[in-house]
Amino acid sequence: MTESTQIGLFTYDVKNGLGLIAYNVDDHEHAHIIVDTKKCDDCSHMMCVWGCPAQCYNYRDQGLEEMKFQVEDCVECGTCYIMCDQGAVSWNHPRGGFGITYAQG
Amino acid sequence: MEEETDFDVIVIGAGFAGAATAFQLLKEGIEGERILVVERGEPIGGKNMTGGILWGRELDAFTDYIGNWEMDCPGIERCINHKKVGFLSNEDAVFIEGRFASWDGTGGTEEPSERSSWSVLRAKTDAWLAEKMEEAGIFVMGGIKIDQLNIEGLDHGAYDARDLTDPSEDSGKGAAQKWKVDNLPKELVDKVRNGTISGIVQDGEVMTAKVVVIAEGTNSVLTRAYHFDSMLHAQSKDDMLLGIKEVIHLGKERIDERFNCFPGDDERPPSGMAMELALSLYREMAEEAWEKYPATKGLYPRCGGFFYTNEDTVSCGIIVQLKSLPEGLHTYDLYEAFKAHPAIAALIQGGEAIEYGGHLCPEYGLHRMPHRFTRDGALVVGDAAGLVFANGMQIQGMNNALHSGKLAGKAIAHCIAKGDVSAKALDATYTKSLKASYIFRDLERFEPATKFLNHPANFTWLPELIGKTANRVFREIGEEKVPAEKVFFGVRKELRKRNKANKKGMGLFSLARLGLLGRKL
């Protein structure tokens, strides 16, 4: 967990936090979220990037030219589906037995 | 219709709402082997997450099956007898704190003197409840996700339920968005949305039941596909909250000491503290974000913080109103700023995070509820039905889930006995009792409170005003004393000067109006 030099600005090492959770990642063919990243090219707001608590969406915020989505760290909260108004996110629960497993909840 | 179904009732989801429905059905005399509960999590509970505090003693109704749940259930962590409400600004923290003997059930003059709130960790609670359901003879299957309901007279292979809620492949943008459902034959859509539901489909296999109970929780995929709720709700960030939480291990002794908790004995569970906070921490972060992404300039993230003690861990997190999130701010960074605040950092010092998670919470209120709770042969309960109450002091979904499950169980048993499980019959029992219950009465009564709670002041200058005023009133620096009233107006003046946007909001009339709204809490 690093604290940026400016007072009042904070960044959370989210990947560190995600490392604490158990996942059973399904194969690519059965990914529970499918993002049509072409539609992201014209998106002006990237609200999925800002909303996602698991940093599954990486785009201009990380200096990338195009949307990079990776489903593996998904905590299945549903925020991206709600934030996307471009029709790019197709969201479902993972197949039974796959995805995140909380030990505490 | 009279042919035998595989089960009397199939419940989708083994959370609180689903479990309460199943237990209530047993209580009403339905045989355990005629009830099937399916759950996508494996182990059961693994998909669930909460803040969280369970209010009320709804579980008492099922002591025949679950026994002494307070003491025995591993996810029921500490009995809350110590509540704090606080205002955090960048530099200050002010708390109102209460310790209540009657919340312990150990006495006091306040009635009823009984334990009525617990910190819970749902992965453990739900696994335990599932065990108890099985012991009571109910069929419970974990690791099963249901994609489709069975509609009478409709081949389930003829459609994919996702097509009824998903955006179209060749979708337009934004407001012009097209949906896959628009490309489907009208007749089919009508049948899926209005036909009689008679079971579930799993991997192409149909399991029939007289009634299907949808208890799938907040990401209500089936609820929308089968049109209990409008599919547009799925893509509206209005009234949707994102909770982000870490479970931080501190150890039992350290928690007992740090939070002055009763350690627990043979008869009494350990006691604990629950804290909810209005946050005004994000001015610098928001201002930096506005500079980079001017499109949402002026949008200030509206977040509440929470902090609960579990048996040997604490639950520390924030809840963000998604519509208030400006571009340029990651939700997890908002969490970090909360955690790093001196008042919170001190509480988790020496702890080790053992779990991180995120979960949506519907805060529909009455105006955005699903437009129907029942269909022929099915009904919806708990979070999936949007039965969450939020007034800022409490966010309650779990006891509502339990209560709606009970009402559903009663109604279904009644309707099955009468041989009529149509939407009309279920409405006359389930929906009617739901609307007469405390769930709806609370939602109605506290509708005005949401106006106060969504007021930007609570997330910008109000915590600061309270913090700075308290700071100066409580402090003695060896100079001439200033009366509290004068300090308050002095701080108000400073804050107005600093930020022109605040100026109007901090006028005397605005303050009075805010106070008037606040009394509805």
CATH architecture assigned to B240-362? 2-Layer Sandwich (3.30)
- Residue B244's beta-bridge partner residues? B318, B358
Residue ranges in chain B modelled with pLDDT below 50 = 1
Residue A1 has pLDDT above 50, yes or no: no
B355 to chain A, closest Cα gap in Å: 5
The pLDDT tens digits for B235-255 are: 678 878 999 999 999 999 999
Closest by alpha carbon to B426, among B245, B228, B148, B182? B228
Predicted ipTM > 0.90: yes
Per-residue pLDDT tens over the stretch B361-394: 988 878 778 889 999 999 999 999 989 987 655 6
**Min Cα separation A34/chain B (Å):** 11
What residues of B are in contact with residue A102 (Cβ under 8 Å)? 45-49, 122-123, 355, 357
Instruction: Residue A21: count other Cβ atoms within 10 Å of its Cβ.
Output: 18
Provide the pLDDT for residue B336: 94
Structure tokens belonging to residue B412: 């279904």
Please identify among residues 112-151 of chain B the ones whose CB lies closer than 8 Å to any CB of chain A.
121-126, 142-145, 147
**The predicted structure's pLDDT at residue B170:** 65
Q: How far apart are CA B136 and CA B139, in angstroms?
A: 9
Mean pLDDT confidence for A20-49: 92
Residue at token pair 């709402």:
B17
Q: 3-class DSSP state for residue B170?
A: coil
Domain coordinates in residue numbering, chain A:
22-101
Label each residue of B437-471 as H, E or C: CHHHHHHHHCHHHHHHHCCHHHHCHHHHHHHHHHH
Under 8 Å CB pairs connecting chains A and B tally to: 194
Element of type H or E holding B229? none
- Residue in A with minimal Cα distance to B289: A9
CA distance B263 to B259: 11
Give the containing element (helix H, strand E) for B34. Answer: none
Whether residues A77 and B240 touch (CB distance < 8 A) is answered with no
DSSP E strands in B260-364: the ranges are 271-280, 303-309, 313-321, 352-362
Identify whether the C-beta of residue A70 lies closer than 8 Å to the C-beta of residue B351.
Answer: no
Q: Does domain A22-101 have CATH number 3.40.140.10?
A: no
User: A10 and B49 in contact by Cβ < 8 A?
Assistant: no
> Which pLDDT belongs to residue B234?
60
pLDDT value at position A7?
Answer: 45
pLDDT at position B501: 66
**Domain boundaries defined on chain B:** 7-75+121-236+365-436, 240-362, 452-518
Topology (CATH level 3) of domain B7-75+121-236+365-436: FAD/NAD(P)-binding domain (3.50.50)
Cis peptide bond upstream of B43, omega within 30:
yes
CA distance A21 to chain B (A): 6
Task: Sort strands B7-12 and B205-214 into parallel, antiparallel or unpaired.
Answer: parallel
CB contact under 8 A, A14 and B218: no
Give me the residue from A8, A12, A102 closest to B335, CB to CB: A12
Helix (H, G, I), strand (E, B) or coil at A4: coil
Geometric angle at alpha carbon B519, from B515 and B521, rounded to 5°? 125
